Amino acid sequence: MQKFFIFFLIVLSSHKIFAQDTLPNISVTNIGNHILISWTNSYVTLATINIQRSFDSTKNFTTVGSVLNVANKKNGYIDTKPLSFNMYYRLFLSFEGGTYLFTKSSRPIQDTIRTLPGVKEFQQTVVNTWFVPSKLVYTGRDNNIIIALPDAPKKKYIIKFFEETGALIFELNKISEPYLTLEKVNFLHAGIFNFEVYENGVLIEKHKVYVPKDGRPVPTTNEPDKNLFK
């Protein structure tokens, strides 16, 4: 791991070759059949950085790794086993207090100047996340729940919320606003809740939403920290 970080610092030190964009913009480069995702961080409340990839530019993203030290000014991630060299990459950024955003997805740009010699000698730890938020129902500012349904005025949406045990908590009918804020007090306690979104009677999404305690960011380990809900 120490060898990898030394190697990575050498790569990032060449400003003429790797010009890093400032978050939420990222640079994605194909170097020696490996994909380098790099960026400059100017955020002070950043809590999590997850690297995601997909064959599609807007959906079906999966998390391939996480950054262990998000406070670094200049940082990045090397995908040593890309499924394709035309995949899209983006970052999932979460902040203290529960807010988050996705960077714009980008395909790799081919670097023709140099390769990364000996990259196979370095190992990069992959830290999978236990949760990637929905784009329709997610945790927003002040830990309240945001419901984003752009076509709500034209379509009939129903959202049902459940405890993890499967018990129905409540449901929202006749949603006519494209953007709603649902107070977290409706959930009675912090934790993970299941939800289902129906469009004109058809189930279009079955996912989870996380309601943290005040000041608690979304955890980044494979399993949620039980202390977060106390």
Domains present along the chain, CATH in parentheses: 2-121 (2.60.40.10), 137-229 (2.60.40)
Q: Which of 131, 134, 132, 88 is nearest to 108 (CA)?
A: 88
Q: Is the peptide bond before 108 cis (omega within 30 degrees of 0)?
A: no
DSSP 3-state of 116 = coil
- pLDDT tens-place string over residues 57-116: 888 888 888 887 888 888 888 888 888 889 999 998 888 767 788 899 999 987 655 544
Rg, Å, the chain Cα set? 20
The mean-pLDDT minimum among 17-31, 109-123, 189-203 falls in: 109-123
Question: Tell me, what's the pLDDT at 117?
Answer: 45
CA atoms within 13 A on the CB side of 9: 7
Label residue 161 by pLDDT band (50, 70, 90): very high
Nearest to 43 by CA among 83, 100, 81, 90: 100
171 pLDDT more than 90: yes
Answer yes or no: is pLDDT of 42 > 50: yes
Rounded CA gap, 15 and 230, in Å? Answer: 46
Tokens standing for 182?
């649902």
Q: Strand pairing of 168-172 and 179-182? A: unpaired
Q: What is the dihedral of CA 42, 48, 53, 56, to 10 degrees?
A: -80
Taking all residues of the chain, what is their mean pLDDT, rounded to a whole number? 77
Is this prediction's pTM over 0.75?
A: no
Please determine, for residue 49, whether its predicted confidence score (pLDDT) is greater than 80: yes
- Strand, helix or coil at 225? coil
What is the reported pLDDT for 17?
41
Amino acid 26: pLDDT: 93
| pLDDT of 22 over the 80 cut | yes
Q: How many C-alpha atoms does 146 have within 13 Å on its Cβ side?
A: 18
The band of 158, judged by pLDDT with boundaries at 50, 70 and 90, is very high
